[in-house]
Amino acid sequence: MRPKLSLWIATCFNIGKLPLAPGTWGSVLALLLWFTIIGSIRHITFFFLTIILFGLGVFISTIALRYFDQDDPQQIVIDEFVGQWIALLFVQKSIVLGLTGFILFRIFDIWKPWIIGKMDKISGGWGVMLDDAVAGIISLGLLHVFRMILA
């Protein structure tokens, strides 16, 4: 894959180049796209699309890391995008649930407690993607627990 295309995808259409909190902007983009498509595709389709994007993210991040010459540069935000989608898997379209999933994911992605911090230490494209995927999984679990409690 051409480096320019890889960087464009890794930065989620250059959102990762925004000066303030690029990871948060990557999550905002994911939330907005989730809101746009979740009512028009089945949840299982969204699940498989998220898995495909995770694999693409590992591949693309590996290429982008050579360009940025850092372990996990903040410009790469495909990991936040995918992590945010993981946090919203099998969630009904709802402003409250979407924003709650967004907040939970951002807290775990920034804080990086326990296993998330361990995943963050892995090098290469896997390391870029795994900490956000695990933050998304934990956020997803908590979001579904909250949903069940409030129902």
122-145 pLDDT per residue, tens: 999 999 999 999 999 999 999 999
The pLDDT of residue 28 is above 70: yes
Q: Is the dihedral of CA 140, 21, 69, 67 positive or negative?
A: positive
Q: Residue range 75-95: average pLDDT?
A: 97
Q: Residue range 11-27: average pLDDT?
A: 95
Q: What's the pLDDT tens digit per position in 105-115?
A: 999 999 999 99
Task: Give the tokens for residue 52.
Answer: 């495909």
Mean pLDDT score of the chain, rounded to an integer? 95
Task: Give the tokens for residue 73.
Answer: 């540069």
Task: Give the tokens for residue 24.
Answer: 């948060």
Half-sphere exposure of 5 (CA within 13 A, CB side): 4
Q: What is the largest CA-CA distance in the chain?
A: 48
Q: What's the pLDDT tens digit per position in 32-82?
A: 999 999 989 999 999 999 999 999 999 999 999 999 878 789 999 999 999
Q: CB–CB of 88/35 below 8 Å?
A: no
116: left (phi over 0), alpha (psi -120 to 50) or beta: alpha
**Which residues 6+ apart lie within 8 Å of 7 measured at CB?**
64, 67
Query: pTM higher than 0.85, yes or no?
Result: yes
- Integer CA distances (angstroms), 106 to 3, 50, 83, 103, in order: 28, 18, 9, 5
